[in-house]
Structure formats: structure tokens, C-alpha cells
Amino acid sequence: MKPAPFDYFAPGTVDEALALLAEHGHEAKPLAGGQSLIPAMNFRLARPQVLVDLNQVAALSYIRANGSGLAIGAMTRQRAVERSDLVARAAPLLAEAMPSIAHPQIRNRGTVGGSLAHADPSAELPAVALALETRFRAKSVTGERWIPAGEFFKGMLETALEPGELLVEIAIPPLPARSGTAFLEMARRHGDYALVGVAAVVTLDASGRCQAARVALLSVGDGPVLASEAATVLAGQAPAAELARAAGERAASRDVDPPSDIHASAAYRRRLVAVLTRRALERAFERAEKGSGERGAVPSDRKPSS
């Protein structure tokens, strides 16, 4: 299981990287953390002729406040995001999801941009980005553009990025007041890809009713899925166990058409969507009510679900 040969470049700046990608076109592939690409190369499932290693591009690795939102460089290590107090305060949903991503040895090399651009439907970050209405800054030799999360994921391992275009930054908008978030996934083993996962964001109005809700599901289709039907069940309602259950049932019956694979049947995934959505919403509502003013409470127990 040794990778096929390739030409290797390790540019020091974004512009150098973009020039290389433009020059080699579809033969070239960017190398971020390598935690998904290199296994595929070792299995010889992926055989890029040219690798543009982004690990020397220091300018792409940062976590900055962006007003009261966040700006994270695409080459920021997942471990850095996991340890960042800034992220814990500004995006508790992202902070809570991090420990569910594989294992520390993977997160020490894996990057935020790498995971998002790889767009594995079972990965955690795409669903979290979708739930948080994250915006993606993409750059190429011809220019730069912002892509909203809803338009970034195009399908199984497919994104809106054009050949020669690089994801350079993600911007997470600030959480509105009286918001609560929760991340929950069911994996066979701690650190495995999830059978089903849920990233939920709820915002209450002054009277405590649900003003807005975004529930993103992972491992239920060929990309992260926004449970829009479930959101309609929540709109304007007062948080209650029965409400969370109804939203879960709606998400399971109407928002997803989950795949069957060797680990889980479609019927089992539907059941998990119903149960996990309910549990995540209960937790998110609880945090929104407790937070009431203070941005979504930092999750107390860092234990990822399993």
C-alpha cells in the first residue's frame, strides 16, 4: 500500500500555491492535513500527478475574531480549533463537535479547510458549517469569492470549488442572543465516522419561543442535510420535550432519505435521526434558556456522545 509517484511542490504563499494549481490544472491536488487524501493515495485509489502541499503556507493558519463572529484560516489544525478559547466562546457548536472528529493523532494534522473541501458526507465539520451558516472564502489566480455553506456542498466528495480554486478561509457569523447549540453523533466506536450525527442551533425570541432553528444532519445522504421540515415544526413554538420529539420524527420521515451500508440500514438511520435530533434539540433549548443573553453556554460535559 505505497502511494504512486507524483511531483511535489511546497509553496510558501497562497499566491504561489494558486499559480501552481492553475499551471497544473486537473493533474494537481492540494495537500492539506492529508488525513483523508494520503490513505486514499496509499490504497492507490487517488493518484494525483502533482501535489501542492499547503503546510508551508503560514498565512492560512489562524483563528481570529471577526466582529463577534470568527474567521478561521483553511490550514488551521483541527486540534488548534479544539483548544481555542475564542472558538469555545464564539462558536460552542464547533468546539463541542471537535472531539468527535477521529482521534487526537488525526486532529493534530487534519485541517478545517481540508475536511470541508474533502466534503465527506459522514464528516462532522460540513454539518457544523451548514448549521452555523458559515461562509467560505475561495481564491484562485483570477480572483476571490465568498460561497455560503448552503451552496458549497454539491454532493459526495464534491464542492463548488472550481479547478485551480482554493478554500482559504471560513467565516462563522456571530450567534444571535438567546441561542443554544448542541452537537451529537452516534458512532460504532469512539472516533469512528458517525452512523448519524446532528448539529443543532436554536434561537429563542424575547418570550422564549423558538424564533429560528437550523438542524444539520450528517451521514444521511451524499452531503450534510439541513432538516428544513423539522425547522418548520419548531418555528414559533415554546421549547418542550414533545416539540423536540415531533421535530425529530419530522426530520426522520421527511428530511432524509438515508443510505444503507454495511454498518447501518436506512431504517436504522431514520430511527437515529429521530432520536438524535430530539436529544440534540432538548440540549440546545436547555442551553438557550440557560444562556438567555450570554451566548450559547459552553458545553459543560466535553464527553462526545457514543
Partner 1 sequence: MTVEPGGRVRLATGVGTQGQGHFTAFAQIVAEVLGVDVADVHVITGDTREFHWGTGTFASRGAVVAGSACQAAALRVREKILELASHELEASKADLVLAGGSVHVRGDPGAGITLGALAVKANPLRGAVRPGTEPGLEATAYFGPDRGSTASGVHAMLVEVDPETAQVEIRRYVVVHDCGRVINPMIVDGQIHGGVAHGIGNAFYEQLVYDEDGQLLNASFMDYLLPTATDVPRVETAHRETPSPLNPMGAKGVGEAGAIPTGALFAQAVEDALGRTGLEICEIPLSPSRLFELIEEAR
Partner 2 sequence: MESRRQVGERVRRTEDARLLTGRALFVDDVRLDGMLHVAFLRSQHAHARLTGVDATAARARPGVVAVYTAADLGDYWRPGPLLVPPPPIAGLVFNACTQVPLAKEKLRHVGEPMAMVVAESRYLAEDALDDIVVEAEPLPAVVDLEAALAKGAPRVHEHLPSNLAAHAVQRKGDYARAKQRAHTVIKRRFRYDRGASAAIENRAVAAQWDPRAEELTVWDTTQAPIPIRNGLAQLLGLLESQVRVVAPFVGGGFGPKIMMYYPEEVLVPWAAMKLGRPVKWTEDRQENFFATTQERGQIHDAEITLDQSGKILGVRDVFLHDTGAYDPYGLTVPINSQCTLLGPYEIPNYESEFTAVFTNKTIVTPVRGAGRQHGVFVIERLLDFAAKELGIDRAEIRRRNLLRRDQFPFNNEILFQDSAPLTYDSGDYEPALDQALELIDYHRFVREEQPRLRTAGRHVGIGIV
Partner 3 sequence: MVTVNGARYERTVEPRLLLSDFLRNELGLTGTHVGCEHGVCGACTVLLDGEAVRSCLMFAVQADGHAVTTVEGLTDGGGGPLHPLQAAFHEAHGLQCGFCTPGILMTLVPFLRDHPHPDEREIREALSGNLCRCTGYQNIVAAVRLASDGIPTPGR
Q: Given the rule CB under 8 A, which residues bind partner 2?
A: 1-5, 43-44
CB of 43 to partner 1, least distance (A): 8
Binders in 33-52 for partner 1, by CB under 8 A: 43
- Structure-block grid coordinates of residue 114: 481540508
Q: How far apart are CA 265 and CA 269, in angstroms?
A: 6
Residue 105 within binding range of partner 1, rule CB under 8 A: no
Residue among 305, 287, 283, 306 nearest 296 (CA): 287
The answer to whether 195 contacts partner 1 (rule: CB under 8 A) is yes
13 binds partner 1 (CB under 8 A): no
Q: How far apart are CA 23 and CA 67, in angstroms?
A: 37
Nearest in space to 161 (alpha carbons), one of 170, 226, 8: 170
Task: List the one residue from 44, 64, 145, 190 that touches partner 1 (CB under 8 A).
Answer: 190
Q: Which among partner 3, partner 1, partner 2, none contacts residue 44 (Cβ within 5 to 8 A by kind)?
A: partner 2
**How far apart are alpha carbons 114 and 12 in whole angstroms?**
17
Q: Is 188 a binder of partner 1 (CB under 8 A)? A: yes
Judged by DSSP in three states, 194 sits in strand
* CB 252, CB 216: distance < 8 Å: no
Question: Quick check: 170 binds partner 1 (CB under 8 A)?
Answer: no
The CB-of-279 to partner 2 minimum distance in angstroms stands at 15
Binding of residue 143 to partner 3 (CB under 8 A): no
Ramachandran angles phi, psi of 253, nearest 5°: -85, -30
Residue (35 or 84) nearer to partner 3, CB: 35
Q: Which does 216 bind (CB under 5 to 8 A by kind): partner 1, partner 3, partner 2, none?
A: none
Stretch that binds partner 1, among 133-141, 160-168, 264-272, 281-289 (CB under 8 A): 264-272
- Note whether 262 binds partner 1 by CB under 8 A: yes
Contact, 211 vs 285, CB < 8 A?
Answer: no
In whole angstroms, the minimum distance from the beta carbon of 4 to partner 2 comes to: 7
Min dist CB 81 to partner 1, Å, is 23
* N residues, the chain: 306
3-class DSSP assignment, residue 112: helix
- Pick one of 14, 72, 95, 102: the residue that binds partner 3 (CB under 8 A): 102
Cell of 169: 478561509
Instruction: For Cα atoms 13, 18, 21, give the angle at the middle one, nearest 5 degrees.
Output: 130
- Calpha distance 137→157 (Å, rounded): 18
3-state secondary structure of 158: strand
Q: Applying CB under 8 A, what is the total number of residues that bind partner 1? A: 19
Shortest approach of partner 3 to residue 77 CB, angstroms? 9
| 29: exposed, middle or buried (Cβ count in 10 Å: 0-12, 13-18, 19+) | middle
Among residues 12, 26, 42, 67, the one that binds partner 3 under rule CB under 8 A:
42
Residue 251 sits in the site that holds partner 1 (CB under 8 A): no
Amino acid, single-letter form, for residue 161: L
Residues that bind partner 1 (CB under 8 A): 43, 186, 188-193, 195, 262-265, 267-268, 271-272, 275, 306
Residues that bind partner 3 (CB under 8 A): 1-8, 10, 34-35, 38-39, 41-43, 51, 53, 55, 79, 102-106, 108-109, 189-191, 303
